[in-house]
Amino acid sequence: MKCKNCNKVVGETHSYCPHCGQKMGLGRLNFKQLLKDLWVSLTNTDQGILRLIKHLTYRPGKVAREYVSGRRKSYFNPFNYLLLTVAIALYFILQFETVALDYSKIEPDNKELLQFAFKYFNIFILLMWPIHGSLIWLFFRRRQTNYVENLALTAYLSGQTMLYYILALALFTIFPSLLGPLGTIIGLLISIWYTIAILQFYQTKSFWSILKIVFIITLTNIISQGIIYSTFHIYRTLDI
């Protein structure tokens, strides 16, 4: 048998190519195969996304730490995870838009801003991701991690936050009158989860680290709001 990926001759008994690792005896690409691959990537006990979501919920920083330390095959790739969850979150946000704009008694000017932020939500999240990674790297640079490792950490964290947003949107849709207080509680819970994640990733519990993380969260919020405001004003001036 010949491997379809690297063309080397492989014995009949192999189910994976010993040269490149590709599965042997792959059929033609068709819809059934595509669905099968999708199902495997969701439920696979090794690299499955459901397993990753579960672990990111209760030990986020440890997952990211294990991933950058070399356990690549055990977890779904952080960068794919971020792209996937941002796409899913964008879909739900666009669905939710009408509910949010109907219930919140906001001025027309802010309404336009909110619509803008919803519409380009995915771009803002992906734009913030490297900035966010830089901040963590900068504040924890004495702890011997490189920038890309921090990008993997923030990809996992931002990706998981997208799922929390979707849950929050579901709650807001069910209880629209509680938008304000629910928003505060969810924001606080996410911040606590996020703080624990970075403490786990950097294997520290020091008060000084907690202070730094609170500062990073504040700074990230200020920068992301700044980006949204300034691009909104440019967008309006350009009148696209």
Contact positions vs Zn ion (CB under 5 A): 3, 5-6, 17, 19-20, 22
Kindly state the smallest distance separating residue 36's Cβ from Zn ion, in Å. 21
DSSP 98-145: HHHHHHS---HHHHHHHHHHHHTHHHHHHHHHHHHHHHHHHHTGGG--
Kindly state the smallest distance separating residue 5's Cβ from Zn ion, in Å. 5
The amino acid present at 198, given as its one-letter code, is I
Compute φ and ψ for 234, nearest 5 degrees: -65, -45
* Residue closer to Zn ion, measured from CB, 6 or 106: 6
Encoded tokens for 106: 């906001």
How does 21-52 read in b/e, with b if 16+ C-beta sit within 10 Å? eeebeeeeeeeeeeeeeeeeeeeeeeebbebb
DSSP structural state of residue 15: S
Kindly state the smallest distance separating residue 26's Cβ from Zn ion, in Å. 11
* Residue closer to Zn ion, measured from CB, 5 or 44: 5
* Residue closer to Zn ion, measured from CB, 29 or 240: 29
* Residue closer to Zn ion, measured from CB, 6 or 87: 6
Kindly state the smallest distance separating residue 24's Cβ from Zn ion, in Å. 8
Kindly state the smallest distance separating residue 11's Cβ from Zn ion, in Å. 12
Encoded tokens for 46: 């090794």
Give CA–CA dist 57/47, Å, rounded: 16
* Residue closer to Zn ion, measured from CB, 3 or 162: 3
